[in-house]
Chain A
Amino acid sequence: MKKIKTPLTEPVRTKLKCGQEVLLSGTIYTARDEAHKKLTGLIKRKEKLPFNLKDAVIYYSGPTPVRQDGLFGSCGPTTSSRMDEFTPILLNKGLGAMIGKGRRLNGVRNLIKKQKAVYFLTIGGAGAYLAKRIKSSGVLAFKKLGPEAIYKLEVKDFPLIVGIDSNGRSVYK
């Protein structure tokens, strides 16, 4: 299986084909509903973001608390479509890739094509399995949000399927 590493720059992204299975290693950032609301708010007010969006990978996930080993017990994807209304603003700021589960709006798909970004799927309801591929984690921003905070994660061989490729082709009809 093809292995890829962050940063997922445009030349890396454009080689990925819809439906392809890959293993990702490197740095990714969690963000779900509330974090998206806050990030897009910061962008609208032209304030500083907690991390550079250029070529970044956002993982739609709200993990369980860290355990004694300092790592999450369970960390799988949440439903991506809830982020659709915020995604265009992030893509326009250079966001490289998103990881989640399920379908996206056509508007998001078109913008993924325009920005040569990529949308990955990972396995919903397999949080224990996926958490074992996360090697380190720490809160980066919005700590008060608890599970909805932004966490910076280092992942190793995180299993992904290309859901929408940089040509805007979707694995879902």
Chain B
Amino acid sequence: MRKINVDKIKNIVSELCIEANISLRRDIYKAIVKALKKETNKRARRILGILLENARIARRESRALCQDTGIVCVYLQIGQDVKLVGGDLRKSIDSGVEEGYKKGALRKSVVASPLVRVNTGTNTPSIIYTEIVKGDKLKITVMPKGFGSENKSKLVMLNPTQGEKDITSFILEAVKEAGPDGCPPYILGIGLGGTFDKASYLAKKGLISPIDRQNAKKHLRKLESSILKEVNKLGIGPMGLGGKTTCLGVNILEYPTHIAGLPVAVNVGCHITRSASRMI
């Protein structure tokens, strides 16, 4: 049994909150550079150039990439041979978030109740997901999620006899509806299968995976590239002002499901979709 003190987790969460908010993910930066090379629309090119400049300023001057520094989702992959010691795990994660948002001068965007909307002032509570895995390591991933794009996310329960074509048209409709509002070019996390909630969970996890990684499953790899191609034909472009660059990447995760259904969830991510991880 390997012991890990929760104080260590607190410090890492604090650091990851700042890192994710000021440092654009390398895979996304590279995707924007690549898109800029292919883009022919003059205004779209200018906007993409500004997005790259924004990323450089943010990193150089430790500024948040976007003022919406999000609600924090924390993913813990806990090795089954790990024993957490030294205190309460949830408390240590939330005090890590609070500390990171204070130190990094990041915006506190969490209200205590969706109806009684009082800002908690600490950007907590965070949303925590845990997964037990083999081994004695602990992987912490922090994802500050902004709501411009989150508000555009959607879920549908398709019939089991439907398939790729219906999934694609559902995604296209969601992106059309998002239009210019959620900060395109988008990153799309798509969850297929499982249950109503599992599909959304997978969609969000899809946003954490690098967009330049190869999906291990061939049928998903094919679907990812065809959805990417179709979405980029919509012509929405950066800021919704036209161009070839509507989507920078698509990640699909799947899970076995029931014979009677085909849950499909799409989590829309903006062009600064953020996440940062560390392994202990």
Contact = CB atoms under 8 A, between A and B. Distances in A.
Interface of A: 34, 61-67, 72-76, 78-79, 81, 101-103, 121, 123-129, 131-132, 145-148, 159, 161, 171-172
B10 interface: no
Given A61-B67, A76-B66, 4 more contacts: A73-B63, A121-B241, A127-B63, A132-B57
Given A63-B107, A126-B54, A131 B63 contact: yes
A125 B180 contact: no
B240 interface: yes
A102 B66 contact: no
B42 to A, nearest CB: 11
Query: Main SS of chain B's interface residues?
Result: loop
Contacts of A132: 57
Contacts of A102: 179-182, 240
Interface string B75-109: 00000000000000000000000000000011111
Contact of B105 (A65, A81, A127): A65
Contacts of A145: 119
Nearest to A124: B183
Interface in B61-80: 61-69
A72 B151 CA distance: 25
Contacts of B270: 124-125
Nearest to A126: B54
Interface of B: 47, 50-51, 53-54, 57-58, 61-69, 105-109, 117, 119, 121, 148, 151, 179-183, 239-241, 270-272
Nearest to A131: B63
Contacts, number: 124
B239 A62 contact: no
The 7 A-B pairs of least Cβ separation, nearest first, read A102-B181, A74-B64, A128-B63, A124-B183, A129-B54, A128-B58, A126-B54
B109 A147 contact: yes
B54 A125 contact: yes
A79 B53 CA distance: 22
Given A34-B117, A128-B63, A123 B239 contact: yes
A127 B148 contact: no
Given A73-B63, A74-B66, A131-B63, A146 B119 contact: yes
Contacts of B271: 125
Nearest to A121: B239
A78 to B, nearest CB: 7
B179 A101 contact: no
Contacts of A127: 54, 63-68
Contact of B67 (A66, A75, A146): A75
Contacts of A62: 67-68, 107, 109
A19 to B, nearest CB: 8
Nearest to A64: B107
Contacts of A67: 105
A124 B239 CA distance: 7
Nearest to B179: A103
Contact of A79 (B63, B105, B121, B151): B151
A82 to B, nearest CB: 8
Contacts of B107: 62-65, 74, 147
Contact of B241 (A72, A73, A131, A171): A171
B241 A161 contact: yes
Nearest to A63: B67
Given A126-B50, A129-B53, A147-B109, A101 B67 contact: no
Nearest to B65: A128
A132 B64 CA distance: 12
A127 B61 CA distance: 12
Nearest to B146: A125
